[in-house]
Structure 1
Amino acid sequence: MLRTLFRKWRESRNASLQLDAILTATDPDAPLAERNRWLIELGFWIRRDGMAGVEVDGGEGPGRGTRSFREHVRMRYLVQVLERHPDWAERFGATMRSIVRDNDPTALFCDTGVASHPGFVSEMVHRLQARFLPPPPNRSDMAALFALLFVGQHDAEWVEALDDELLARLARVLRAGMTAAGEADGGAQAMARYWAALGHMLSTSIAVLVSQVRATGLSQSVRSRLRGRVEDTPFYQLDSAIKALCEPGLTHADEAFGHRLNYFRALLDGCHAAALQVYAELEENGVSVEVVFQIERMKVQLARIELLLAAWVEPGRPGMHAHLVAELIRSTQARRSVSDLAGASFAQLARRVVERSAETGEHYITRDRKEYGELMRAAAGGGLITVATVYLKFLIYGLHLDKFIEGLLASLNYAGSFLIIHFAHFTLATKQPAMTGPALAHRLDAVGRPEGLEVFVDDTIAMIRSNAAAIFGNLAVVFPVALAIQWLANKILGANLITPAKAIATIESFSIVGPTPLYAVFTGVLLWLSSLIAGWADNWFALHKVHDVMAYNRRLRYVLGERGAQRLADFWQRNMSGISANVSLGLLLGLGPEILSFVGPHMEVRHVTLSTGSVGTALGVLGLEALRLPSLWLAVAGIALMGVLNVAVSFALAFNMALRSRSLRRVDRAELSAAVRRRILKHPLSLIVPPRMAGAEPVAGSRRA
């Protein structure tokens, strides 16, 4: 029983009645719900045997005659049957006309494909609900009927590809029975009334969309980001322009209509330019997802106005109505997509976050020996601070407190040491890739030109060299210093800072044979997430103008003085991103594994610098005898892989996000990889030794200075 029901449920996706049963059930006097259900059933019959067709030769014009659709074959068969049975054709035409007459098209023209809610969250909830809860067919709403009728993935394609001959035959069928008693012109007056009604619906829908665009453009969130007086903005003038264009008695042939139409289209172009101006302001002063959502919705409304305007002004242009219906189908189907909504709304924020990371990443790419030496010294300082972090970590976990308390104290330990590294202008190697990835992605804009490709290769080599130098600088200090502290403690105090059992367990926990690679990947993700949080915090600071709020705060000025308040505001503006990155990374490394292990799989942090310091401490406890332990060398291999995974995962995630946040054309990745390989094979020492001067990077085919 259940298997039968499940089989029928699966078959119902594409099943339909036979054509004769559908045409027999045609009834123009039936309730609207029954007529709508009849049309939906006809739609399923038309596409029942598949969507896409086969490629054939012949035909002219874009999209016409170059592809054959099975839906076209069924449409021709339907028209042929109706032409042979005038009684069916008369009822068919009357039913179709009644469906068009009784379903309100305003929502279809104005709301289909356009976000209907004022905010991103409410619109996302609405779309999620629409995916699982389709509209009922008993509503007099053409938009709901479209959503139920056109459910095929390729419906818009086959509708737009309908040829003129088939459309003309279908139009004759739909006019069947329209001839009024005593009329010798075959229903010309009725058709004239139909075209007049269609033109009125289009102009009314354009006026509705204009009111919505005007409301968005004059809202505080958009108006405050535009230059000039409000009455000079194109949004303010749209209302009077559309009223003049739709003036009663004004025909399309009038010269005044042409002038007013050109003025109205110029205002639409001005609205597009204003949207770009808002985007430029957002990129400079912080991105708001809600404002981006409103601008994206307005852009869709402007595009819809232009589509309806073309159909209203040029109704007789070949293929115009098929194109209009196809665009409405595409909009109906896109309206169900949550990913499209999120992509359009968050792309701008992602770009802002990436831009901030790229600015920071530029400082981590060394291009000459002077910068290389400064990076090595900064990395050595970072390694020295990390030694204290390692010993504090052993102390915290040696207290055997509650897991959450342990994680919280570990977070404070990590965050504190990272902040010290930040303010001392030192470097922690594994934080670099999440910043250098976006900086490197910027170079892809120009890789289509030879000089742009060379710049990309130069920076790729410099980035690899800089990351390797930072890791070497960290490890070259953290391992011997951690070992020396433990050795001195044993020699002077006669005590070990950790027990031998803990030392052995520490070494074994870093073995390459086990979960260490997985934990290292997890740590790389956390490193990337901290860069996202830093970019978001910097965007929030700029968006809400926190610098100006602090600089002009009355109480801060009273306590610190005017200059003190300004300096405090400048301090936070300079360091908001760095403080956010370091504090968030400390919290993620300390509390992240504890929280994830509570709700999901067990995870631990495997950070290459911290782990190297831990091994150095363990060796100081165990002495030279530890060199005979196989677990030590497995741990060394594990730490080597750990460094590669920490860097590779965080860099890959940051680089991929940078690519997705920018409107970049697709580049030949094989050529980029080949160019980098050629440089490495030609000048392998460039991965280790920087050039003497910036810009002196050796290129393939050139001689070294």
Structure 2
Amino acid sequence: MLPSLFRKWRESRNASLQLDAILTAAEPEAPLAERNSWLIELGYWIRRDGAPGGDDARADKGPRDGSEGEGGVERSLPQHVRLRYLLRVLERNPDWALAFSRTVRSILRDNDPTALFCDTGVASHPGFWGEMMDRLQARFLPPPPNRSDMSSLFALLFVHLDDAEWVESIEAGLVERLTLVLGLADAEEEGEEEAAARRGLERTLAASIQVLVSQVRATGLSQAIRSRLKGRVEETPFFRLDSAAQALFEEDLAHGDEAFGQRINYFRALLDHCHAAAQHVYDELEENGVSVEVVFQIERMKIRLARIELLLGAWSEPGRPGARQHLTAELIRSTQARRSVGHLVSSSFAQLARKVVERSAETGEHYITRDRGEYREMMRGAAGGGLLTVLTVYLKFLIYGLHLDKFIEGLLASLNYAGSFLLIHFAHFTLATKQPAMTGPALAHRLDGARRPEGREIFVDDTIAMIRSNAAAIFGNLAAVFPVALAVQWLSGKLLGVSLLTPAKAIATIESFSILGPTPLYAIFTGVLLWLSSLIAGWADNWFALHRVHDVMAYNRRLRYVLGAKGALGVADFWRRNLSGIAANVSLGLLLGLGPEILSFVGPHMEVRHVTLSTGAVGASIGVLGLDALRMPALWLAVAGIALMGFLNVAVSFALAFNMALRSRNLRSVDRRELSAAVRRRILERPLSLIVPPRRPAAAPDAGGSRA
């Protein structure tokens, strides 16, 4: 029994009654819930797979119309074929047609369309998180059919993604036939009904536009938007929008009057100014930091402005060909978007993602070396970073040698990592694996101009420079950390007779880096943590700019009293220069130290595998074991593991950052295969360019971003 019920439940997703049963059930005097359910069932029949026939043929009591031959059916969408079949059946069965038309008209009369026109597709909550919860509920809890609300009926009637397309593509002849079928009652009575329905629709459209105008005006005059616009409040287009709408919808104003033309042109000009003001707010956010809530408000206002223009066209030009289909299709699209959580997230977070990426791109520019002078500086910085990492390696051995509680160990390891990374940052040294998460956005920034030959050349140049820079940084780190870590342990043993770690610990350390163990998985996990730290850095920089913290600190009364105006400005400048770096290094330290412990507590066991730290640990272990370590197979498995570890650290963090940059800039239309081919050709033509930089940077026009 249960399998049968489950099979029926699955079939009910797209199943429908036969057409004769649906037409027989048409009852204009039935309760609204039954009439709405009847229309929903008809919609499922129109979308039903396969051409009408079989049991449906019982509804067609006359011969087929020769104008709808086999070729015509093949050229039509399946929904159009079924709609023609329905109309043919109704045209040949007057009793069914009369009940059908009266039932449809009663449904249109008794369902209020105001919410459909004003609220469908528009966020109903003032904030992002409330709207997300509402959409999740709408996705899994559809409205009941007994509400006298056209928006609820649309949500139940149009459930397939292609519904808007087939509705909008209905040809004019089919629309005319449908109109005639819906007017099969007495001609004089029908004329009065049509006139009353037309006047009612015009009033509803006008009222809906005025409701939307009041909502746009409220948003545009809110503090979050108003504070980002220039001029006085009464000079903004939002302030004048309401009075312009009232003048346009005066009852004694006919559509053919000259005054009507002037007023509607003025109203449309104000709408254009509102769009321009919204774009100005976006530009201000691009420059001074992005707020998800402000972006959410702007996106909601833009949707309402577009809806006003859509309804205004239907109200001012009701007889325009295709107007009804276009309006219905747009309302269907809005209804389906209203259920989409992904659409809400993408529209609200795209600007924030772009801003975070832009901040990372600015930092990443400094990690790309384009000539031999910059290359030498990179090598020196990487060697310095490797030298300081030696201290981190031995402090890590000390912390884990205490055998403390796991959380305390993770916290102390986090402080060790964060302190080391901050020391490297302020010494202007380089930690190699931090680069890819920053250089990825910088490289994606070049794709803005990659459709032009000169832009493509710049992209290829920067790709080669990025690969060369990352390789130089890794080599510089490892060239310093390995011999110095080994030398520290060797000198400690020879001069002081003290071993900084036991032979058993040294062997276990080497074995833990084997390529045959979980090292590749741990290296991928570490690459994800490196990418997350770059996101945190970009977010912190965006927050600093959005809330104008620099100005807050520079003009803080107590800071100026203690340090003076120049001193307060210096503190503010320091944080503006270094906040991103501090956030990146502190967050990376916390992620590397506490991240594995927290994840292991709630999920699978994970460890950190960082190529520079692991190489230093192997160097220290060889210092304990001496030359005998070279005869250990585990050592060479560890060497292979560290080589793969370095590749995965870099590749994973770079791939995640580059992919996010592509999505934030909406650059997926760029021909990636052509760009990849161009990079491969450059490598084959000049393989040494991956190692040896040019003598001076190549001069090239800007292709989507500065080379700061």
Classify the secondary structure of the residue corresponding to 1:113.
coil
Match of 1:483 in 2: 486
Q: How far, CA to CA, are the matches of 1:372 and 1:187 in structure 2?
A: 84
- 1:93 paired with 2:96, answer no
Q: How far, CA to CA, are the matches of 1:560 and 1:421 in structure 2?
A: 28
Match of 1:130 in 2: 138
Shift, 1:453, TM fit: 1.1
Q: Is the 8 A contact 2:23 2:100 kept in 1?
A: yes
Q: Is the 8 A contact 2:295 2:351 kept in 1?
A: yes
Correspondences of 1:96-175 after superposition (within 5 Å): 96-175=104-183
Correspondences of 1:573-588 after superposition (within 5 Å): 573-588=576-591
Q: Is the 8 A contact 1:478 1:609 kept in 2?
A: yes
Shift, 1:73, TM fit: 1.6
Q: How far, CA to CA, are the matches of 1:40 and 1:387 in structure 2?
A: 71
How big is each residue's C-alpha offset from its partner over 1:313-359, in whole Å with a ceiling of 9 and x where there is no partner? 11111111011111111111111100010000000000100000000
Classify the secondary structure of the residue corresponding to 1:187.
helix
Q: How far, CA to CA, are the matches of 2:147 and 2:476 in structure 1?
A: 70
Q: Is the 8 A contact 1:94 1:176 kept in 2?
A: no
How big is each residue's C-alpha offset from its partner over 1:519-553, in whole Å with a ceiling of 9 and x where there is no partner? 11110000000000000011111111111222222
Classify the secondary structure of the residue corresponding to 2:679.
helix
Q: How far, CA to CA, are the matches of 1:304 and 1:545 in structure 2?
A: 34
Q: Please, which of 440, 458, 461 is the counterpart of residue 458 of structure 1? A: 461
Classify the secondary structure of the residue corresponding to 2:256.
coil
Q: How far, CA to CA, are the matches of 2:432 and 2:39 in structure 1?
A: 65
Match of 1:41 in 2: 41
Match of 1:339 in 2: 342
Shift, 1:65, TM fit: 10
Match of 1:361 in 2: 364
Deviating more after overlay: 482-491 vs 246-255 = 246-255
Correspondences of 1:318-337 after superposition (within 5 Å): 318-337=321-340
Kindly tell me: are residues 684 and 303 of structure 1, through their superposed partners in 2, closer, same or farther at Cα, counting changes over 3 Å? same
Match of 1:601 in 2: 604
- 1:522 paired with 2:525, answer yes
Shift, 1:564, TM fit: 2.1
The one-letter amino acid of 2:512's match is: S
Among the aligned pairs, what percent are the same residue?
78
Q: Is the 8 A contact 1:525 1:649 kept in 2?
A: yes
Q: Please, which of 257, 262, 265 is the counterpart of residue 265 of structure 2? A: 262
Match of 1:619 in 2: 622
Q: How far, CA to CA, are the matches of 2:653 and 2:428 in structure 1?
A: 22
Correspondences of 1:496-575 after superposition (within 5 Å): 496-575=499-578
Classify the secondary structure of the residue corresponding to 1:512.
coil
Shift, 1:178, TM fit: 5.0
Match of 2:704 in 1: none
Q: Is the 8 A contact 1:376 1:469 kept in 2?
A: yes
Match of 1:10 in 2: 10
Q: How far, CA to CA, are the matches of 1:385 and 1:50 in structure 2?
A: 71
Q: How far, CA to CA, are the matches of 1:696 and 1:473 in structure 2?
A: 28
Q: How far, CA to CA, are the matches of 2:699 and 2:646 in structure 1?
A: 29
- 1:636 paired with 2:639, answer yes
Q: Is the 8 A contact 1:51 1:69 kept in 2?
A: no
Shift, 1:679, TM fit: 1.2
Q: How far, CA to CA, are the matches of 1:193 and 1:36 in structure 2?
A: 22
Classify the secondary structure of the residue corresponding to 1:125.
helix
Q: How far, CA to CA, are the matches of 1:644 and 1:287 in structure 2?
A: 34
The one-letter amino acid of 2:695's match is: R
Kindly tell me: are residues 426 and 65 of structure 1, through their superposed partners in 2, closer, same or farther at Cα, counting changes over 3 Å? farther
Match of 1:56 in 2: none
Q: How far, CA to CA, are the matches of 2:323 and 2:602 in structure 1?
A: 56
Classify the secondary structure of the residue corresponding to 1:140.
coil
The one-letter amino acid of 1:537's match is: A
Match of 2:21 in 1: 21
Task: State the TM-score, normalized to the length of structure 1.
Answer: 0.95
Q: How far, CA to CA, are the matches of 1:47 and 1:688 in structure 2?
A: 61
Q: How far, CA to CA, are the matches of 1:595 and 1:462 in structure 2?
A: 37
Deviating more after overlay: 573-582 vs 22-31 = 22-31
The one-letter amino acid of 2:437's match is: A
Q: Is the 8 A contact 2:220 2:226 kept in 1?
A: yes
Q: How far, CA to CA, are the matches of 2:5 and 2:45 in structure 1?
A: 22
Shift, 1:47, TM fit: 1.1
How big is each residue's C-alpha offset from its partner over 1:348-404, in whole Å with a ceiling of 9 and x where there is no partner? 000100000000000011111111111111111100110000000000000000111
Q: How far, CA to CA, are the matches of 2:50 and 2:561 in structure 1?
A: 75
Q: How far, CA to CA, are the matches of 1:66 and 1:116 in structure 2?
A: 43
Classify the secondary structure of the residue corresponding to 2:192.
helix
Q: How far, CA to CA, are the matches of 2:166 and 2:15 in structure 1?
A: 20
How big is each residue's C-alpha offset from its partner over 1:419-438, in whole Å with a ceiling of 9 and x where there is no partner? 00001100000000000011
Q: How far, CA to CA, are the matches of 1:202 and 1:6 in structure 2?
A: 44
Q: How far, CA to CA, are the matches of 1:152 and 1:440 in structure 2?
A: 39
Q: Is the 8 A contact 2:51 2:82 kept in 1?
A: no
The one-letter amino acid of 2:161's match is: Q
Q: How far, CA to CA, are the matches of 1:75 and 1:65 in structure 2?
A: 11
Shift, 1:113, TM fit: 0.7
Q: How far, CA to CA, are the matches of 1:65 and 1:672 in structure 2?
A: 44
Flag as ranges the 4+ runs of structure 1 deviating above 4 A: 64-67
Q: Please, which of 198, 201, 223 is the counterpart of residue 201 of structure 2? A: 198
Q: How far, CA to CA, are the matches of 2:378 and 2:31 in structure 1?
A: 78
- 1:314 paired with 2:317, answer yes
The one-letter amino acid of 1:13's match is: R
The one-letter amino acid of 2:132's match is: M
Q: Is the 8 A contact 1:51 1:155 kept in 2?
A: no
Structure 2: tracts of 5 or more residues without a match: 53-66, 701-708
Q: Is the 8 A contact 1:519 1:605 kept in 2?
A: yes
Q: How far, CA to CA, are the matches of 1:223 and 1:67 in structure 2?
A: 53
Structure 1: tracts of 5 or more residues without a match: 53-58, 698-705
Q: Is the 8 A contact 1:238 1:267 kept in 2?
A: yes
How big is each residue's C-alpha offset from its partner over 1:261-305, in whole Å with a ceiling of 9 and x where there is no partner? 111111111111111100010011110000000101111111111
Q: Please, which of 292, 296, 301 is the counterpart of residue 293 of structure 1? A: 296
Q: How far, CA to CA, are the matches of 2:670 and 2:51 in structure 1?
A: 32
How big is each residue's C-alpha offset from its partner over 1:573-612, in whole Å with a ceiling of 9 and x where there is no partner? 1111000000000000000001111111111100000000
The one-letter amino acid of 2:221's match is: L
- 1:271 paired with 2:274, answer yes
Alignment size in residue pairs: 682
Deviating more after overlay: 621-630 vs 670-679 = 670-679
Q: Is the 8 A contact 1:435 1:654 kept in 2?
A: yes
Match of 2:57 in 1: none
Q: Is the 8 A contact 1:178 1:190 kept in 2?
A: no
- 1:433 paired with 2:441, answer no
RMSD: 1.6
Kindly tell me: are residues 67 and 539 of structure 1, through their superposed partners in 2, closer, same or farther at Cα, counting changes over 3 Å? farther
Match of 1:693 in 2: 696
Correspondences of 1:377-456 after superposition (within 5 Å): 377-456=380-459
Match of 2:222 in 1: 219
Match of 2:59 in 1: none
Q: Is the 8 A contact 2:440 2:658 kept in 1?
A: yes
Shift, 1:67, TM fit: 5.3
Q: How far, CA to CA, are the matches of 2:99 and 2:51 in structure 1?
A: 28
Match of 1:702 in 2: none
Match of 1:55 in 2: none
